[in-house]
Amino acid sequence: MTVKLAFAALLAAAAARAAAPAPTVAQAQAFIERAEKTLEDLNTKDNFANWAYSTYIIYDTEKLAAAADLAYAVETAKLAGEALKHEKLDLPADVRRKILLLKLSVSAPAPEDPREQKELADIQAWLQGEYGKGKWCRAADKCLTLPDMEDILRDSRDPKELLEVWKGWRTVSPPMRRKYERFVELSNKGARGMGFADTGVLWRSRYDMSPTAFTAELERLWEQLKPLYASLHAYTRHRLIEKYGKEAVGDDGLIPAHLLGNMWAQSWENVYPLVAPPSSDPGYDLTKILEARKTDEKEMTRMGERFFTSLGFEPLPPTFWERSLFTKPRDREVVCHASAWDVEDSQDLRIKMCIKPNAEDLVTIHHELGHNFYQRAYAAQPFLLRGSANDGFHEALGDTIALSVTPEYLKQIALVDKVPGAEGDLGLLMKMALERAAFLPFGLMVDQWRWKVFSGEVKPEDYNKAWWDLAAKYQGVKPPVERSEADFDPGAKYHVAANVPYTRYFLAQVLQFQFYRALCEQTGHIGPLHRCSFYNDKKAGERLNRMMAMGASRPWPDALEAMTGSRKMDANAITEYFAPLKIWLDAENAKRAK
């Protein structure tokens, strides 16, 4: 086709669009009903395919899951594009919200050009594939996977070995850099076609406020949290200097990333033995108790279910016990990473978990069942409104339940004979702080980097510099060796390579403590917040269910108000929870400052 003919075809297409009658409210309602039915059917097929793959990993199930994923993603993107023509109509509130959620459900909007759509899909698949198969070879015959390297970072106390492994994993990501640049270009082009300035603006539009207001809200929450994090950071840094020496840590106030027991320095619980307070014995060993009682996997899950029935919720359906995966099979490979599933229409609920009789898995079970009971609570909502009020609520809900697994709760369910005194609380709080408080700035900075990349504030030639500038600003962490723009350290994090928005995890940390405090206040709890359990409180259950049943039908401040009485996120619940630890940290830091 000549340029002249191509231009004529474009003019004809534009004229046809202009001549088309304007859509009506009735057409918008019919569209959204059709879209919901289509997506629900595809989602169910996708869930069954992925359950089969996760619980029976072979070549065939992998292909079936990939095909189902692609079908759902393609149709979602197509319908999100169609939804645009109905946006300017004066629609009923529920239809308007469904169209908004459909439009915002795509994390990497595709351009209109089919060739660029395919290119974008191919890049996304390639980036995830590169990450998934990434290995680092110490020698020709000794290659390590990411889990292998994470084990070394968790257990080793040899700084040379830690550095070697830290650098080794980051040899996987440099080939991603050029592809990622093109991914940003294509995704931004798709976002502009949907009316957004860039992909980052699209992401920030998911929170029932303007993108600018949401950015300010995150900074407000971080300002509430900085004093706690600063105290934890200073104490941890001093203890690492005692272990590894001033030369290994440096004198710039930052912590070298490889010394914190985690590949991304995002959580620090693996260095607990190096930083534990002198009085850190909780007075019981829950793992030994579970083992001594020969508590099996289903009984541990029943314990979690009984937490919810004590709040007034109905027991899980029989199919949950028939179809869930509780243990690792001997005859096949499965994905053991714990997850909660709503396979079909919020009626076929399951968990997938290779449960071991230990304290960590008991807490995880309570968390995962939180997702299942949330899924069932919003089952009556239409398909597009089945979900949490914003993407931080679901994770927050599961963790809220996990926070209630306290010594007091263990006494109530007869796992311990008596509630231990407060002498071991500092150890419990330190473990929790290294896991959750240490994560907060990382949960914030990943998307801070991406939003700057999407907007063009950070150019491709500064990708790596900007990443480490933000790590220093928010985490107080630095690379242990010189990095350059030949590296692509952001791509060494799964959520960057896979284009998974990350701010949800920061919000979940804030919301879970706010939910927990509200439910503890409901019980009339007196004493330190970290000692509260709302087990067996029916009114707490009513409040919880009121929020969960809303699903995504209302803006998140409405759901937050139903749970907490406040329409505003408040990180002060975190500072209240960790208040005894912060007092101790500040005293220890003051001693070392002398």
Distance CA 136, CA 168 (A): 6
Q: How large is the average pLDDT for residues 96-119?
A: 89
Model confidence at 4, in pLDDT bands (50, 70, 90)? very low
The residue whose two tokens read 């899909």 is 121
Task: Give the pLDDT band of residue 561 (cuts 50, 70, 90).
Answer: very high
Q: Using CA atoms, how far apart are residues 390 and 393, in angstroms rounded to an integer?
A: 6
State the catalytic residue, choosing from 338, 422, 466, 579: 338
Distance CA 308, CA 368 (A): 12
How confident is residue 1, by pLDDT bands cut at 50, 70 and 90?
very low
pLDDT of res. 481: 97
Tokens of 441: 């700035």
**Residue 390 CB coordination number (10 Å):** 23
Q: How far apart, in Å, are the Cα atoms of 296 and each of 13, 300, 317, 354?
A: 65, 6, 20, 12
CA distance 554 to 185: 33
Looking at residue 589, its pLDDT comes to 97
pLDDT at 10 over 70: no
**367 in active site:** yes
In this structure, which amino acid lies at residue 147?
P
Q: Considering 164, 495, 521, 588, which one is annotated as catalytic?
A: 495
pLDDT tens readout for residues 208-249? 999 999 999 999 999 999 999 999 999 999 999 999 999 999
Query: Which one is catalytic: 505, 516, 535, 577?
Result: 505
Alpha-carbon gap, residue 305 to 376, rounded angstroms: 13
Taking Cα atoms as reference points, which of 550, 40, 33, 34 lies closest to residue 344?
40
Q: What is the band of 20 on the pLDDT scale with cuts at 50, 70, 90? A: low
β-bridge pairing 255-256 and 349-352 = unpaired
pLDDT given at position 218: 97
What's the mean pLDDT in 394-410?
90
Catalytic residue (one of 234, 395, 502, 530): 395
Is 395 among the catalytic positions? yes
Q: What φ, ψ does residue 227 adopt, rounded to 5°?
A: -60, -40
Q: Active-site residue 368, yes or no?
A: yes
| 82 a catalytic residue | no
Instruction: Grade residue 129 by pLDDT with cuts at 50, 70 and 90.
Output: confident
Interval 502-521: pLDDT, tens = 999 999 999 999 999 999 99
pLDDT bin (cut points 50, 70, 90) of residue 3 is: very low
Among 556, 383, 388, which residue's Cα sits nearest to residue 32? Answer: 383
Share of the chain above pLDDT 70, in %: 96
Which range has the top average pLDDT, 61-65, 133-137, 157-161?
Answer: 157-161
* Least-confidence region, from 121-135, 202-216, 296-310: 121-135
Least confident of 5-14, 252-261, 392-401: 5-14
Q: Which of 180-194, 274-288, 431-445, 452-466 has the lowest mean pLDDT?
A: 274-288
Catalytic residue among 86, 258, 371, 530: 371
Place of tokens 């917040």: 529
Determine the average pLDDT of the residues in 439-454: 98
- Confidence at residue 419, expressed as pLDDT on a 0 to 100 scale: 86
* Domain map (residue ranges) of the chain: 3-99, 127-183+237-269+438-501, 286-323+355-420+505-593
Clarify whether 505 is annotated catalytic: yes
- Do the Cβ atoms of 106 and 83 come closer than 8 Å? no
**Catalytic annotation, pick one of 26, 337, 461, 486:** 337
Residue 578 confidence (pLDDT): 97
Rounded CA separation 59/56 (Å): 10
Please name the helix (run of DSSP H) or strand (run of DSSP E) that holds residue 418, with its range, or none: none
pLDDT at 534 over 60: yes
Half-sphere exposure of 508 (CA within 13 A, CB side): 24
Give one DSSP letter per residue of 193-256, joined into a string.
Answer: HTT-SSHHHHHHTTSSS-HHHHHHHHHHHHHHHHHHHHHHHHHHHHHHHHHH-HHHH-SSS-EE
Summary mean pLDDT of the chain: 92
For residue 425, count CB atoms less than 10 angstroms from its CB and return exposed for 0-12, middle for 13-18, buried for 19 or more: buried
Q: Which of the following is catalytic: 367, 377, 437, 471?
A: 367
Measured CA to CA, the distance from residue 479 to residue 37 in angstroms comes to 49
Residue pLDDT, tens place only, 457-477: 999 999 999 999 999 999 999
Whose tokens are 């403590």? That residue is 513
Residue 390 has which token pair?
A: 């914003």
Q: At what angle do helices 211-244 and 503-523 cross, to 10 degrees?
A: 90
Place of tokens 């059709």: 34
**β pairing state of 477-478 and 255-256:** parallel
Q: At 19, is the pLDDT very low, low, confident or very high (cuts 50, 70, 90)?
A: low
338: annotated active-site residue: yes
Higher per-residue pLDDT: 211 or 402? 211
> Per-residue pLDDT for 398 more than 60?
yes
| pTM (two decimals) | 0.90
Give residue-wise pLDDT tens across range 333-379.
888 878 899 999 888 999 999 999 998 899 899 999 999 999 999 99
Q: What is residue 529's predicted lDDT score, i.e. its pLDDT? A: 95
Tell me the C-alpha distance between 110 and 244, whole Å: 49
Give the residue from 323, 324, 369, 372 showing the smallest Cα distance to 346. Answer: 372
pLDDT at 8: 46
The phi, psi pair for 145, rounded to 5°, reads -85, 170
Position 62, amino acid:
E
Q: Residue 495 catalytic?
A: yes
User: Could you tell me the pLDDT band of residue 306, with boundaries at 50, 70 and 90?
Assistant: very high
Beta bridge partners, 287, equal none
- Give me the pLDDT at residue 338, please: 85
